[in-house]
A and B are shown apart, each in its own frame.
Chain A
Amino acid sequence: MTVILPILPEILLLALGILVLVLDPFWKDENRRLNLGWLTAGGLFLILAVSLAVARPGEEAALVFGGMLRDDWLGFVFKMFFLFGAAITALFMMDVEGVGRRAESYLLLLAATLGVNLMASAADLVMLYLAIETTSIPLYILAGFLTGDEKSTESGFKYMLFGALTSAVLLYGFSLIYGFSGETGLYALAASFPTLSLLALGIIFLVLVGLSFKVSLFPFHFWAPDVYEGAPTPVAGFLSTASKAAGFAVVLRLFMAVFPSLAANWSVILAILATLTMTVGNLIALTQKNVKRMLAYSSIAHAGYAMIGVVAFSQLGTASTVFYLIAYILTNLAAFGIVTAFGRVAGSDDMKAYYGLSRRAPTLALMMLVAFLSLAGMPPFGGFVGKVFVFAAAIQQGWIWLAVVGILNSIVGLYYYLTVLKYVYLYRMEGEEEEKHPIPLSRPYAIALTVLSIGIIAVGVIFGPWFGLASGAAASLF
């Protein structure tokens, strides 16, 4: 029994997927949305609860399944947030036209969740690559799920082309690692690259290409806006949170396990990439007229902020990245959830459509305020504490210029988040008859958004326990 505990969440995910698939044909069409959605979301929450109760890793990290996976707190913390994110995404999917009534969409979501979970704990190059593909392939399909919609098709296709290319480059990097060391286990590789060589640099470059795509780091961020805009909004939310955070889990584990002695070198590369990512993401976000595209660019920028903690290469740095991602997952899910709930009724993601929202739906507007201010890094929301911690980690390790760049960027960020809030709170709809155009929230959205709003504030105010979780995760790498 103890053997399967480390992969208990994954086993249960698979079982849930099968359950969805088996039960689906027995349900009548009109019940389908409700049954499928609640089954998936409820099942995911149940898996989360069960895993938290029985599958917690021990104090000492252990390699399991012949070194394929590592049972440690880093993986576990990420897994729990992925399960949570997937459950929320399932709730968001329920009322989306063309997605909510089809069992395939939920099944693909579960498959992708399985993939991200494995990415978080993979400790072997082979396992890692398989996990990345298990995540990517269902997401390619989900992004292009609305086959009648040109933008969605384009989105899925674009995502797949970019994804396939970068994953081939990543695989090439992995093959070089194996070729020159004869090892595939991440933790056996640490001694293989003791000094800087052209080979090591080449490998770092190839691996970074593949992973930059996953976390949408400059210059491999181009896909994100188009894919997010075209994909069904909940899927975009999942892409920008769980899938991106999984990429970070891999970056953290891989660089710390395989190239610890080259930290001084790769941290410079990552610092430059982080700078470019933040700056490019924020500057382009300034000019956006579509909320989904703006959120896409903002999520690129957030990858840059989170990377600051990785650059710092210390226990605090890693912990701050994990904390940042926790806050970011909650916040960005909320942001995309609000866009989904709004776009479903209003039929548009254009910023102009948001005029007068605070009069049409005061509660939704307030939730938007919470999510966007958290993205902007304002207390008492999670984003503020996350940002302070990554900057603190950077300053501790002497990366003062990087902290300054991050801060300058967060000012740019504040500007465009406030601009959207200005439309929501200040501007009026045409005709000024907002009361006649309410935005009703269906129950799944109400539940999910309430949970997320409370979560954002909880992470931002009572940050001690969350940071404890993040430090626990970080400690398992050092």
Chain B
Amino acid sequence: MQFPILSVIVFTPMTAAMLILLIKSERKNEIRVTALAAATFALILSLWVYFNYDKAAAGYQFVEKYNWMPMLGISLHFGVDGMSAPLVLLTGVVMFTGVLISWGIDDRPREFFAFMFILASGVFGVFASLDLFMLFFFYEIAVFPMYLLIAIWGWIKTREYAAMKLTLYLFIGSVVSLIGALAMYWQSGLQTFDMLALEQAAFSPAFQKLWFPFVFFGFAVLGGIFPFHNWSPDGHVAAPTAVSMFHAGVLMKLGAFAALRVGIMLLPDGAKFWSPLIMGLALVNIVYGAFIAMVQTDFKYVIGFSSVSHMGLVMMGFSTLTRVGLTGAGVQMFSHGVMTALFFAAVGMVYDRAHTRDIPKLGGMVKPMPLVAVAFIIGGLVSMGMPGLSGFVAEFPIFMGIWQVKPLVAIIAAVSIVVTAAYIMLVIRRVFFGSMPAEFEGHIGTITAQDKVALVFLCVIMICLGLTPALMVPWVQTGVQHLLSLLGGA
């Protein structure tokens, strides 16, 4: 029997959370060190899984299966394919950098790290689950700690409102999908929640058309699809830095990934039927999100809406149902996760020192914190899809995919690239360059060593991926191949 590496990855944060809760709350440094150790461990394991995934063999690997409840066919079934392996890695990366960024949290760090790690376990669980029931189980675990993380440690002005809004939106979404999942379970007559078996269930087209929207849009709420994206900018802005990173970086991918895995993979005919609608909504996401981002004056809201816009690209990639489009969407999930984590980290660092996020009041931040400025610019270039960086690797195929299906949509969506470039440049100019307002002179401290490590780490990933797309594209392609076979296409 091989080493159960996926279970270890999934349960490491959970175990660490329990350990952290056992440490006395005054011993803040021990808590931080334990958290960092656990995060590093999870990162190393997820790196190991990623690089040991056998691309030639493809399919689901590192599979583990334990019968959890044979009566109803529920099993603890883990495994990753080319789609989920990058996302497991992404979670490891964001968790690691999130801990580094949160080093300075002084109000009840014990609870903070414990809740964040419970969340991380849920996220790992969703990406690795091959059992529909367990997927929901982990999905909900990933949702509820968010409420406390935002409500307790968030931005005091909107945290209560935003936390409740976010939790209710996501909960509604997930239970709507749950109904769809239960309907699939009974309809299949297979008495199992195993997704590998359900993939082969061959539901009738009428059934698929009826239930696809339940499942897909229920999950897509967390993916931030228009018109259910409303929770996301509010939630991101209200959350503390590390939680915004987690949220925009990983959780939104959770929604997109679950929509793909449960919606498109299990109900492919439904996906074909509904894909024009998804494409339309995603187009609204992309263009509308970009325009709204441009008119924001709050630094963090700009990034919040840019996430909405970029997640639209992921959904757009899904809706093409073509090889290039799906591949682009898969890479975009990873690329955007790293990029937005970097953005939120940078915003958090500026805010922690300037105590304001109002763009007109900021300026000249490049002097006290040059590294943040550089990192933000790199992130900005990724966001615009500059060649040589990961954003290009992700977005270019998506646009190619759309062009194959609906050239007109591609043209409209391309407007967003221009708008994105505009707002990113505006923000860079106003926040980091220009003259520093007098009240900040001498008050803006430098960033800590932990912050630097996190920023450099995130930048390096984006650059490496941009220079050598072969570090990720082949993985995603094996996943897409499987998806296409389910869709009945080439």
Contacts and interface: CB of A to CB of B under 8 A. Distances in A.
Interface in B156-178: 159-160, 164, 167-168, 171-172, 175-176, 178
Interface stretch (B133-141, B306-314, B375-383): B133-141
Contacts of A468: 71
A309 to B, nearest CB: 14
Contacts of A407: 175-176, 178-179
Contacts of B186: 392, 395-396
A415 to B, nearest CB: 6
Contacts of B74: 464
A467 B172 contact: no
Given A379-B141, A388-B178, A415-B168, A422 B160 contact: yes
Contacts of A471: 71
A271 B138 CA distance: 30
A411 B170 CA distance: 10
A380 to B, nearest CB: 6
Nearest to A397: B186
A237 B152 CA distance: 30
A378 interface: yes
Interface stretch (B143-151, B277-285, B471-479): B143-151
A23 interface: no
A421 to B, nearest CB: 7
A5 to B, nearest CB: 28
Nearest to B144: A378
Contacts of A378: 140-141, 144
A464 B71 CA distance: 8
B144 A373 contact: yes
Interface in B173-217: 175-176, 178-179, 182-183, 185-186
Interface string B111-131: 100000000000000000000
Q: Chain A CB within 10 Å — which of B25, B67, B111, B136 has the most?
A: B111
Given A407-B176, A410-B175, A366 B137 contact: no
A193 interface: no
Contacts of A379: 136-138, 140-141
Nearest to B69: A464
Contacts of A467: 69, 71-72
A45 to B, nearest CB: 27
A411 B168 contact: yes
B70 interface: yes
Interface string B76-115: 0000000000000000000000000000000010010000
A414 B179 CA distance: 18
B68 interface: yes
B179 A403 contact: yes
Contacts of B176: 407
Contacts of B185: 392
A73 interface: no
A404 interface: yes
B436 interface: no
Contacts of B144: 373, 378
Contacts of B419: none
Contacts of B70: 464
Contacts of A422: 151, 160, 164
Interface in A363-418: 366, 369, 373, 378-380, 384, 388, 391-392, 395-396, 400, 403-404, 407, 410-411, 414-415, 418
A332 interface: no
B171 A404 contact: no
A417 to B, nearest CB: 10
A450 B484 CA distance: 50
A425 interface: yes
Nearest to B68: A464
B366 interface: no
Contacts of B111: 358, 362, 425
Given A391-B182, A400-B183, A422-B151, 18 more contacts: A359-B108, A379-B136, A379-B138, A384-B137, A396-B186, A403-B182, A404-B179, A407-B175, A410-B175, A411-B168, A418-B147, A425-B151, A464-B67, A464-B68, A464-B69, A464-B70, A464-B71, A467-B72
6 contacts: A407-B178, A411-B168, A414-B167, A425-B111, A426-B159, A464-B74
